[in-house]
Structure 1
Amino acid sequence: MTTAFRQWRRRWPLARWAVPLVLFLMLLPFLWLLQMSFKPAAQIMEFPPRVLFTPTLEHYVSLWKDGFPESFVNSLVTSTVSTLLALVFGVPAAYALSRWSGRGKFGLGLSILLTRMAPPIAFTIPFFLAFRWLGLLDTRTGLILIYMTFNLPLVIWMMQPFFDAVPVSLEEAALMDGAPFRTVFLEIVMPMATAGIAATAILCFLYAWNDFFFALILTRTDARTAPVAVVNFMNYEGWEWGKIAAGGSLVMAPVLIFSMMVRRYLVSGLTAGAVKG
């Protein structure tokens, strides 16, 4: 702990509580949603709300009976597979763009990034017509393809700076020692870009997992994802708040678990390049 930081803490003693307070305020909506999922249906809309109550699993049981597990599995499969495919194709492309010394490198990188900036609604009709002709409507394969398509530019754009930071001299030395290019890429370059891969993977997974627009337009029942299933609990007869809270809590769980698993790589990956020297 530096001297300046100690002086700052002595001068502003209440500042040490600022971070916990802000963190609590940020987590309050999620904690409120979680407790709502365990609250009996008759007590959810009470005002003032009850802080102490007898927890129940009735809303989670109702989700199981209403077929929510199938939608949850659809989200898990499409998000995981599309993320893996985006990394398989995007990481080598980012490495090739990083090592490209010819003209047009900046223009190509910019054009790849621009494809990610276009609003998804602009691609709705072309994708819908193409998927209907190919028979991919309401299929996991269709969602995987569209998520992979939108995640590829993100993978290339995020991974290129990490490969730029890997010294080319290391690769040249390994090649001069007789190591094949495949070994150089997998055993020298890739381990040095692990933090970037982890950060990129979780952002791709988040995009696919939280997608609502394409899942609503391109699916009906067989490939319906969890976010769409949660919205179906809002109907003309009334909003089923207990099921909505339980479904929302389950939707948050995989992202939270995945983030905790790769948090060390995620922080280092997102802050890479912030400090130089």
Structure 2
Amino acid sequence: MSNGRLSSLRRRWPLARWAVPVVLFAMLLPFLWLLQMSFKPTPLILEFPPRVFFVPTLEHYVGLWQAGFPESFVNSLVTSIVSTLLALVFGIPAAYALSRWTGRGRFGLGLGILLTRMAPPIAFTIPFFLAYRYLGLLDTRTGLILIYMTFNLPLVIWMMQPFFDAVPASLEEAALMDGAGYATVFMEIVMPMAAAGIAATAILCFLYAWNDFFFALILTRTDARTAPVAVVNFMNYEGWEWGKIAAGGSLVMAPVLVFSMLVRRYLVSGLTAGAVKG
């Protein structure tokens, strides 16, 4: 690199250094605005110009507690965690089998699995609703877990296959020649080498189930209602309860933000590792 280009980069570096916090602040601004609204007294929420300094209150969070929001929050937590675990339990072996399949039709099967994930959810609404009504799964956690697992399975298979492709088959052959069984090879050799991919896949599956609104709205009423649907219920004909909406939205977003920050290293390393083969 020439001295002229190097000096040009040095002159531009201060601007690039400030660009990151500016962009980050712009991305977090809606959440920060929602968060301050959740602590703002009701008469001040729609005040214009908005007040920056005010005496915070917890009345909106108390109202959420009295309105049964904790039960909806627990429903979201249970359905997201259980559906993610089930999708991993069934999807990881399927991805490994597809990765080691050397016969004809591998590409077509993989494409078919991916296409099922790309279909819009509205296409499955009526069949799932009719089947759930017949089976008695409407407004149940079990019904939500099954549908989240169904939609996450293709994602697990599609994401995990490149990780298993990157595991050298020679390691498995050597272990088999030493007397190890197929289950031992899979659990003690293949799985640890694909740990980053498993973590990234689990994060994405959890976020899909946690953020789902469409299926939870159609397939639940009261008993299995999730947190996103509970927040929308504060928008009614009598008026929108902005304080409770802001408090509920903050509680729904906070775990996702905290969880994403804690596991961001695994998410980035898993996605980048899966993009490189060989």
Cα distance in 2, alignment partners of residues 97 and 208 from structure 1 = 25
Report the alpha carbon displacement of residue 25 of structure 1 after superposing the two structures with TM: 0.3
Report the alpha carbon displacement of residue 80 of structure 1 after superposing the two structures with TM: 0.6
Tell me, yes or no, if the aligned pair for 2:197 and 2:274 is still in contact at 8 Å: no
Cα distance in 1, alignment partners of residues 249 and 209 from structure 2 = 16
Tell me, yes or no, if the aligned pair for 2:166 and 2:277 is still in contact at 8 Å: no
Q: TM-score, normalised by structure 2?
A: 0.94
Gaps of 5+ in 2: 1-9
- Percent of residue pairs bearing the same amino acid type: 90
- Residue deviations 1:120-174 (CA, integer Å, cap 9, x gap): 1011110001000000000000000000000000000000000000111111111
Q: For 2:55, what is the secondary structure of its paired residue? A: coil
Cα distance in 1, alignment partners of residues 56 and 138 from structure 2 = 40
Cα distance in 1, alignment partners of residues 77 and 31 from structure 2 = 21
Cα distance in 1, alignment partners of residues 143 and 56 from structure 2 = 40
Judged with a 3 Å threshold, the aligned counterparts in structure 2 of structure 1 residues 139 and 11 are, in CA distance, closer, same or farther, namely: closer
C-alpha RMSD of matched pairs (Å): 1.2
How many residues are treated as equivalent by the alignment? 269
Tell me, yes or no, if the aligned pair for 2:34 and 2:250 is still in contact at 8 Å: yes
**Map of 1:215-230 to 2, 5 A cutoff?**
215-230=216-231
Deviates more, 1:258-267 or 1:226-235: 258-267
The match for 2:277 is 276
Tell me, yes or no, if the aligned pair for 1:74 and 1:140 is still in contact at 8 Å: yes
Report the alpha carbon displacement of residue 273 of structure 1 after superposing the two structures with TM: 4.8
Deviates more, 1:256-265 or 1:221-230: 256-265
Tell me, yes or no, if the aligned pair for 2:165 and 2:277 is still in contact at 8 Å: no
Q: TM-score, normalised by structure 1?
A: 0.94
Q: For 1:91, what is the secondary structure of its paired residue? A: helix
Tell me, yes or no, if the aligned pair for 1:138 and 1:218 is still in contact at 8 Å: yes
Tell me, yes or no, if the aligned pair for 2:139 and 2:224 is still in contact at 8 Å: yes
Tell me, yes or no, if the aligned pair for 1:68 and 1:226 is still in contact at 8 Å: yes
Gaps of 5+ in 1: 1-8
The match for 1:76 is 77
Q: For 2:273, what is the secondary structure of its paired residue? A: coil
Report the alpha carbon displacement of residue 254 of structure 1 after superposing the two structures with TM: 2.0
Judged with a 3 Å threshold, the aligned counterparts in structure 2 of structure 1 residues 247 and 155 are, in CA distance, closer, same or farther, namely: same
**Map of 1:1-277 to 2, 5 A cutoff?**
9-274=10-275
- Residue deviations 1:32-72 (CA, integer Å, cap 9, x gap): 11111111111111111111111111111100000000000
Report the alpha carbon displacement of residue 259 of structure 1 after superposing the two structures with TM: 1.6
Cα distance in 2, alignment partners of residues 24 and 270 from structure 1 = 25
- Residue deviations 1:13-42 (CA, integer Å, cap 9, x gap): 312100110010000001111111111111
Judged with a 3 Å threshold, the aligned counterparts in structure 2 of structure 1 residues 160 and 248 are, in CA distance, closer, same or farther, namely: same
Report the alpha carbon displacement of residue 178 of structure 1 after superposing the two structures with TM: 1.1
Tell me, yes or no, if the aligned pair for 2:139 and 2:225 is still in contact at 8 Å: yes
Judged with a 3 Å threshold, the aligned counterparts in structure 2 of structure 1 residues 275 and 160 are, in CA distance, closer, same or farther, namely: closer
